[in-house]
Amino acid sequence: MSGSYDVVVVGSGPVGTAVARELSDAGSGLRVLVLEAGEALGDTAGGHVKNIADVDERDRLLAGLATGPAPLPGGTPARPGTALIGAASMPNAAMSTNVGGMGAHWTAACPRPVDDEVPDCVEPAVLDEALARAEELLAVTTHAFDRAPLTGAVQRVLGELFDRPHRRPVGAMPVAVTVGEDGALHWTGPAIIAGDLWQRPGVELRTGTLARRLLLDGDRVTGVEVVDLASGERSEVGARAVVVAADAWRTPQLLWASGVRPEALGRYLTEHPQIMAASVLDERYVPEDAPVDTALPVTAAAAPGGGAIVPVSGVSWVPYAADRPFHGQVMQMDASPVPLDPGVTVRPGQVVGLGWFCRKELSPDNRVWFDDDATDAHGLPAIRVDYALSAADTASIEAAKTEIAEAARALGRPLGDPFVMPPGSSLHYLGTTRMGRADDGTSVCDPTGRVWGTENLYVGGNNVIPTATACNPTLTAVALGVLTARSLAASLAATPVAEEAHA
Ligand code: FAD
């Protein structure tokens, strides 16, 4: 073995980074190695690409990530920073391979789960505290767009339409964004979660390094076989414990490839069926002195939902409630998603994109599985996806379409009809290593993330979220990762190394 660590974490996305940070913060001098298959984008390891001021440099970095299969029938090109998986039943399913994972590209919306979204295997008070810690790590705020001139109007209109006494009111979406003293927005990538982590003694981020197999001795993981992707050289690193936070596709893939195959592995895959619409805000909501944006009408090809968030109309939120199985995000678009009529002029912030995310019913038949007869580019079993909507899902989608159309009309002039994005578009993939109270075949790990039947192998990510949710998952996944790190740190502290060696 080349080197030995207390904990090896696989994946440097928001969850892997948060786990490493919490382990290090536990203060016990733990030696932590984070393995990341991808490379850093720009000068800051795990920085959000939108913080890279040089647009040409940003585009160059993103172009380097545009690998993977071409869009399948029914799908669309991959979102910048992601590569498609190539799954016919979920044509827009994608992944990111770079330091920071998808967290270097995300939109940073961070609502908390409520009602039936909340995993019932974690004590509510414990989860609440972990969510608060996750909000702190991600620098979540509802005030990033306080100065956005159109926010108040958007929220007033949506509130009149959707607020009910038993629901959380329409308001500002909590976002992982920091506002600089000069008013500039800084997007939270995993670099913010890390802070000074990568400079700390005993902590190492090893990039361009793929975890190819977990090394096991009975029910104990003893290390990881790794491949240096530049040289192809293979080696082994030893570990007292391993946390795999390598996304909802590659976490179960690594377990499968290593012979760790609980019955529920890969099953209960969900995402958030996504409905999109756009509207030009009514002139009544636009301050008279707002400048006209002549660039907008001609840049009509922007991907719906891909709009950057800029501080004009902010990000407004129509929250989820158990009796309303979706939630809505309304934000400024970079460009109109459909050609505007000739001669129409709009002002910055006046074209808003509406995205409604639906809760998807859980089913063991929706799953990612691994083909032992075919391999991916790294020789790992190929990723396959079985995914279908149920009658209840279709009903939710229809209800969301009706509601989003209502919202688009209330805000101003709808641009075309609402449309349902191809499966996989949400980029929120959940459940494939779900947690549960008991090892009963419906879960892969316990509420601390420890894989059933193992002593010291843990999983993290959206894939551990066990419930059918509508809320964007990263905040919840980071909170559950915080609990994993704390539990693991306590168990390592309680077990002296010498004792483990003889276990
Ligand atoms: P990831 O961020 O996917 O990181 C996993 C990492 O593991 C990757 O870096 C990968 O290279 C690495 N890895 C995989 N396999 C291996 C291996 N074998 N060896 C070594 N390394 C490996 N979520 C929200 O909650 N709100 C949003 O507003 C939102 N908007 C989004 C917008 C976009 C454009 C995108 C792309 C995503 C968005 N998401 C959003 C999703 C969000 O980014 C993910 O939920 C989050 O990044 C998941 O974190 P993670 O650490 O579990 O996984």
Residue 59 dihedral angles phi and psi, to the nearest 5°: -65, -35
What separation in Å is there between the alpha carbon of 492 and the centre of ligand 1? 27
- Angle of helix 124-138 versus helix 14-25 axis, rounded to 10: 100
58 lies in a domain? Answer: no
Residue 334 has pLDDT above 90, yes or no: no
Q: How long, in residues, is the chain?
A: 503
143: nearest Cα among 164, 102, 174? 174
Q: Which residue has the higher pLDDT, 219 or 334?
A: 219
Tell me, using a 6 A CB cutoff, whether residue 477 lines ligand 1: yes
Interval 9-67: pLDDT, tens: 999 999 999 999 999 998 778 999 999 999 999 999 999 998 888 888 988 999 888 88
156 lies in a domain? Answer: yes
Return d(Cα 385, Cα 336) in angstroms, integer.
33
165 lies in a domain? Answer: yes
**Of all helices (H) and strands (E), which one includes residue 318?**
strand 315-318
28: left (phi over 0), alpha (psi -120 to 50) or beta: alpha
Atom 16 of ligand 1, nearest CA residue: 246
Provide the CATH number for the domain around residue 253. 3.50.50.60
Atom 40 of ligand 1, nearest CA residue: 106
What pLDDT score does 24 carry?
Answer: 96
In a shared domain, residues 406 and 478: no
The residues near 251 (Cβ < 8 Å, ≥ 6 apart) are: 10, 11, 244, 245, 432, 433, 459, 460, 461, 463
Q: Most distant CA pair in the chain: distance in Å?
A: 78
- By three-state DSSP, how is residue 219 classified? coil
Residue 435 dihedral angles phi and psi, to the nearest 5°: -95, 160
In a shared domain, residues 245 and 328: no
What separation in Å is there between the alpha carbon of 40 and the centre of ligand 1? 14
What pLDDT score does 294 carry?
Answer: 44
What pLDDT score does 485 carry?
Answer: 98
310 lies in a domain? Answer: yes
Least confident of 250-259, 297-306, 381-390, 461-470: 297-306
The amino acid at residue 213 is R
Tell me, using a 6 A CB cutoff, whether residue 13 lines ligand 1: yes
- By three-state DSSP, how is residue 60 classified? helix
Percent over 90 (pLDDT), the chain? 73
Tell me, using a 6 A CB cutoff, whether residue 8 lines ligand 1: no
356: nearest Cα among 304, 288, 283? 304
Based on C-alpha coordinates, what's the Rg of the chain?
22
Return d(Cα 161, Cα 166) in angstroms, integer.
14
Residues 252, 266 contacting (CB under 8 angstroms): yes
Atom 45 of ligand 1, nearest CA residue: 474
- Angle of helix 474-494 versus helix 14-25 axis, rounded to 10: 40
Give strand pairing partners of 270.
430
DSSP collapsed to 3 states, 385-403: EECCCCHHHHHHHHHHHHH
Return d(Cα 320, Cα 114) in angstroms, integer.
8
Residue 304 has pLDDT above 60, yes or no: no
Q: Residue 289 — pLDDT band, cuts 50, 70, 90?
A: low
81 lies in a domain? Answer: no
Interval 100-148: pLDDT, tens: 999 999 989 999 999 999 999 999 999 999 999 999 999 999 998 887 7
Tell me, using a 6 A CB cutoff, whether residue 461 lines ligand 1: yes
Give strand pairing partners of 293.
346
Tokens 């809760």 correspond to what residue? 359
Residues 26, 7 contacting (CB under 8 angstroms): no
75 lies in a domain? Answer: no
What pLDDT score does 314 carry?
Answer: 74
Most confident of 179-183, 292-296, 484-488: 484-488
In a shared domain, residues 129 and 260: yes
In a shared domain, residues 405 and 332: yes
Interval 438-447: pLDDT, tens: 999 999 999 9
Q: Are strands 457-459 and 351-358 parallel, antiparallel or unpaired?
A: unpaired
In a shared domain, residues 336 and 371: no
Atom 10 of ligand 1, nearest CA residue: 97
Q: Are strands 32-35 and 203-206 parallel, antiparallel or unpaired?
A: parallel
In a shared domain, residues 283 and 214: no
What separation in Å is there between the alpha carbon of 317 and the centre of ligand 1? 22
The amino acid at residue 35 is L
381 lies in a domain? Answer: no
Tell me, using a 6 A CB cutoff, whether residue 48 lines ligand 1: no
Tell me, using a 6 A CB cutoff, whether residue 250 lines ligand 1: yes
- Enter the tokens of residue 82: 């992601």
Tell me, using a 6 A CB cutoff, whether residue 109 lines ligand 1: yes
In a shared domain, residues 232 and 339: no
What pLDDT score does 308 carry?
Answer: 44
Atom of ligand 1 nearest to the CA of 254: 18
Residues 386, 365 contacting (CB under 8 angstroms): yes
Tell me, using a 6 A CB cutoff, whether residue 336 lines ligand 1: no
307 lies in a domain? Answer: yes
In a shared domain, residues 255 and 397: no
In a shared domain, residues 445 and 492: yes
Dihedral angle of Cα 187, 188, 190, 196, to the nearest 10 degrees = 100
Which of 272, 378, 428, 502 is catalytic? The answer is: 428
Residue 272 is a catalytic residue = no
Entry pTM:
0.94
* Residue numbers of the domain that contains 183: 142-187+273-358+388-422
In a shared domain, residues 402 and 495: no
What separation in Å is there between the alpha carbon of 276 and the centre of ligand 1? 22
Least confident of 113-117, 278-282, 284-288: 284-288
- Residue 65: exposed, middle, or buried by beta-carbon count in 10 A (0-12, 13-18, 19+)? buried
What pLDDT score does 180 carry?
Answer: 83
Average pLDDT over residues 218-234: 97
- Residue 171: exposed, middle, or buried by beta-carbon count in 10 A (0-12, 13-18, 19+)? middle
Average pLDDT over residues 327-351: 70
**Of all helices (H) and strands (E), which one includes residue 281?**
strand 274-281
The residues near 267 (Cβ < 8 Å, ≥ 6 apart) are: 364, 365, 366, 367, 431, 432
Residue 340 has pLDDT above 90, yes or no: no
Interval 148-189: pLDDT, tens: 777 888 899 999 999 999 899 999 999 999 988 877 789 999
Return d(Cα 102, Cα 94) in angstroms, integer.
10
Return d(Cα 39, Cα 26) in angstroms, integer.
27
> Residue 371 CB: number of other CB atoms within 10 A?
12
Least confident of 86-90, 211-215, 283-287, 289-293: 289-293
In a shared domain, residues 455 and 335: no
Q: What mean pLDDT is reported for the chain?
A: 90
In a shared domain, residues 251 and 289: no
What separation in Å is there between the alpha carbon of 55 and the centre of ligand 1? 22
Q: What domain count does the chain have?
A: 2
What separation in Å is there between the alpha carbon of 136 and the centre of ligand 1? 19
